[in-house]
Chain A
Amino acid sequence: MTNIVVAVKYVPDATADRTFNSSDNTVDRENVDGLLSELDEYAVEQALQVVEAGEGEVTVVTVGPADAADAVRKALQMGADKGVHVEDDAIHGSDAFATSLVLAKAIEKLDYDLVFFGMASTDGGLGVVPTLVAERLGLPAVTFASEVSVDGDTVKIRRDGDAATQQIEATGKLVVSVTDQTGEARYPSFKGIMAAKKKPVEEWTLSDLGVDASDVGLDAAWTKVESFTERPPRTAGEIVTDEGDGGSKLVEFLASKKFV
């Protein structure tokens, strides 16, 4: 029996024009279309595979504004059993540390053996929330897993790092973040889409979690964005068409910049 909680994030679509709110320097999540972070789909997929290979339940949890429920729904359509959506106005502007507090408190309320995350979000992209949630839960974390399997009480993980490929083994509760190397995420089937409509999604607020509103949000942030600047669009570079001298022209450019 392996019960898995998958934490997912609703992110601004990376192909849309992402920006900041000029009033408080937070990420604009309202005027941009969002979706379940592509990288979190791999975590949902892995959780489903582990449970399908044995027994257990997959619960999806997200923290975010009303629209974030879409991310939970997508995961339920893929096959997760139930969802939790933590929504509270006080959470707006939370940094990774406050977000990890809310997530950890929500996960504590659930029955779980493993907690899965995507490798990083596609907006903030620091990939640090899994580690922070693990630290708050007093658990070890194995990040950037390329392969995950559960053998009895033991979780076996392959990690392809920069310098080496590691085989990791752990027993007991564990936080895992998975990369896109774990395998393609499934598309929701028509049956899955219909079934998801009947699956339970709990709505929790901070008070349900026993989190003090003053510990989250912009004012509680341990780090603050003091200012932001949009980079001026790159001035159009010089484009040449190869007419038998493209390579030479390329090297002339590199020489003008002192790279050769």
Chain B
Amino acid sequence: MTEVLVLIEAPQGKVTKPSLELLTIARSIGEPSAVVFGEADASVLAEYGAEKIYTYDDAAYGDFLVAPKAEALAALVAEKSPAAVLAPASTEGKEISARVALKTDSGWIGDAVDVSVDGGTITTTQSVFAGNFTVQSQVSKGAPIITVKPNSVTPEAASGAGTVEAVSFDVPDSAKTVKIVSSEARQSTGRPELTEAAIVVSGGRGTGGDFSEVEAFADSLGAAVGASRAAVDSGWKPHTFQVGQTGKTVSPQLYVANGISGAIQHRAGMQTSKTIVAVNKDDEAPIFELVDFGVVGDLKTVLPQATEAITQRKG
């Protein structure tokens, strides 16, 4: 079996769900080797199928933007000649992997939603133009370096050896030019991460600035909370909540849009959601063209009733 390198993200040592999804995909291609910069819970990586775990420990990986990690990963790719490299389709995952692709003369594919292997040839599927098209791609040069969107697969446990191998790599000074002077961690909302959540409940202009009904409904479903650009521009929610072209792209199992008209900018960020539900007072809102189920009504009365009904079902 050939080795597949998987770039792991583990803020504060906790391995993210998209990283576990990558390990699951990697097992369909070959033997997953996790690549970890800093701390990560090795037992979780082994539990999800990592045969090897390459660890890198140098202050430079945390003090500077992506350059040191890209240098280190490129050197590892050159040494191991893996069948593929998988990285999360996060900002950092894309930047590291794209630089590695250029450094190693390898084709790069961004935002894959599926990866399949047939007779050693790896084909990826991506969703483009606000989800209106799917395209199948292959690389024509080197080992494919692929970033995969969250929620592309369900992580499956499969025990791997999880052999930890500490790699020593001298980070060149040329990679230490863009310094992170300070970093202020975002306060945890206690809800799932927007881009990783299985269910996302969003609010827009129709909330009038009061997200309490949207948040209560989200909590009854264990969902992440999102917002439209209109809600963010009005200062009702920070930009980190924004779903759409200039915010986050989400692809959950269920997306519930409340008081959101469904402009193309918003659609671009949520159109690949598996099931779409909307609540809007305006029966001509374009969001209703997308939905599997829609309620024409005021979210201020519909959502509390729905929250109540869910709470009752849970008993």
In this complex, the member of A166, A245, A251 whose beta carbon has the largest number of chain B beta carbons within 10 angstroms is: A251
Given A172-B177, A260-B313, do A162 and B240 touch, yes or no (CB 8 Å)? yes
Given A167-B180, A174-B178, A230-B132, do A247 and B303 touch, yes or no (CB 8 Å)? yes
- A123 → chain B closest CB, angstroms: 7
Point out the residue from B107, B135, B309 that lies within 8 Å of A251, measured CB to CB. B309
- Which A167-206 residues have a C-beta within 8 angstroms of B? 167-172, 174, 179-181
Contacts of A140 in B (CB 8 A): 65, 67, 177-178
Given A162-B195, A164-B186, do A223 and B94 touch, yes or no (CB 8 Å)? no
- A131 → chain B closest CB, angstroms: 5
Point out the residue from B132, B179, B221, B239 that lies within 8 Å of A170, measured CB to CB. B179
B99 at the interface (CB under 8 A from A): yes
- Nearest B residue to A118 by beta-carbon distance? B246
- Nearest A residue to B289 by beta-carbon distance? A234
A257 at the interface (CB under 8 A from B): yes
Contacts of A128 in B (CB 8 A): 94-95, 98, 108, 110
Contacts of B307 in A (CB 8 A): 247
Contacts of A131 in B (CB 8 A): 94-95, 98-99
- Nearest A residue to B288 by beta-carbon distance? A239
Given A128-B98, A131-B95, A247-B309, do A237 and B177 touch, yes or no (CB 8 Å)? no
- A22 → chain B closest CB, angstroms: 12
- Nearest B residue to A14 by beta-carbon distance? B264
Tell me, in angstroms, the Cα distance from A26 to B213 when the chains sit together: 45
Point out the residue from A25, A143, A251 that lies within 8 Å of B313, measured CB to CB. A251
- Which B76-129 residues have a C-beta within 8 angstroms of A? 90-91, 94-95, 98-99, 101-103, 106-111, 123, 128-129
Tell me, in angstroms, the Cα distance from A259 to B310 when the chains sit together: 10
Tell me, in angstroms, the Cα distance from A260 to B256 when the chains sit together: 14
Point out the residue from B67, B136, B181 that lies within 8 Å of A225, measured CB to CB. B136
Contacts of B283 in A (CB 8 A): 239, 241
Given A119-B246, A162-B193, A222-B140, do A246 and B181 touch, yes or no (CB 8 Å)? no
In this complex, the member of B106, B292, B301 whose beta carbon has the largest number of chain A beta carbons within 10 angstroms is: B292
Contacts of B132 in A (CB 8 A): 18, 230-231
Is the CB–CB distance between B186 and A259 below 8 Å? no
Point out the residue from A25, A169, A238, A246 that lies within 8 Å of B297, measured CB to CB. A246
B183 at the interface (CB under 8 A from A): yes
Tell me, in angstroms, the Cα distance from A214 to B314 when the chains sit together: 63
B294 at the interface (CB under 8 A from A): yes
Given A20-B133, A166-B180, do A250 and B139 touch, yes or no (CB 8 Å)? no
- Which A8-27 residues have a C-beta within 8 angstroms of B? 14-15, 18-20, 25
Is the CB–CB distance between B296 and A241 below 8 Å? yes
Residues 176-194 of B, flagged 1 when their CB comes within 8 A of A and 0 if not, give: 0111111111100000010
Range, interface on chain A:
35 or more
B293 at the interface (CB under 8 A from A): yes
Tell me, in angstroms, the Cα distance from A75 to B111 when the chains sit together: 30
Is the CB–CB distance between B140 and A223 below 8 Å? yes
- Which A25-55 residues have a C-beta within 8 angstroms of B? 25, 39
Point out the residue from B239, B296, B313 that lies within 8 Å of A181, measured CB to CB. B239
Tell me, in angstroms, the Cα distance from A219 to B29 when the chains sit together: 27
Is the CB–CB distance between A242 and B294 below 8 Å? no
- B228 → chain A closest CB, angstroms: 14
- A21 → chain B closest CB, angstroms: 12
Tell me, in angstroms, the Cα distance from A14 to B246 when the chains sit together: 13
Residues 119-137 of A, flagged 1 when their CB comes within 8 A of B and 0 if not, give: 1001111111001100110
Point out the residue from A163, A224, A249 that lies within 8 Å of B137, measured CB to CB. A224
Given A126-B94, A135-B99, A242-B298, do A168 and B240 touch, yes or no (CB 8 Å)? no
Given A15-B264, A228-B133, A260-B313, do A168 and B65 touch, yes or no (CB 8 Å)? yes
Contacts of B214 in A (CB 8 A): none
Given A126-B111, A179-B246, A239-B294, do A231 and B134 touch, yes or no (CB 8 Å)? yes
Is the CB–CB distance between B135 and A228 below 8 Å? yes
A4 at the interface (CB under 8 A from B): no
Tell me, in angstroms, the Cα distance from A250 to B110 when the chains sit together: 35
Contacts of A141 in B (CB 8 A): 65, 95, 178
Contacts of B102 in A (CB 8 A): 97, 132, 135-136
Contacts of A1 in B (CB 8 A): none
22 intermolecular pairs with C-beta atoms under 8 Å apart: A119-B246, A125-B245, A163-B186, A168-B65, A179-B246, A181-B239, A221-B140, A223-B140, A226-B123, A226-B136, A226-B138, A227-B135, A227-B136, A228-B135, A237-B276, A239-B288, A240-B293, A241-B295, A247-B302, A247-B306, A254-B254, A260-B314
**Seed contacts A140-B67, A171-B177, A224-B140; 20 additional CB < 8 Å A-B pairs:** A15-B264, A135-B103, A143-B91, A162-B90, A163-B11, A164-B183, A164-B185, A168-B65, A222-B101, A222-B106, A223-B107, A223-B109, A228-B135, A234-B276, A237-B293, A238-B292, A238-B293, A240-B293, A247-B302, A250-B302
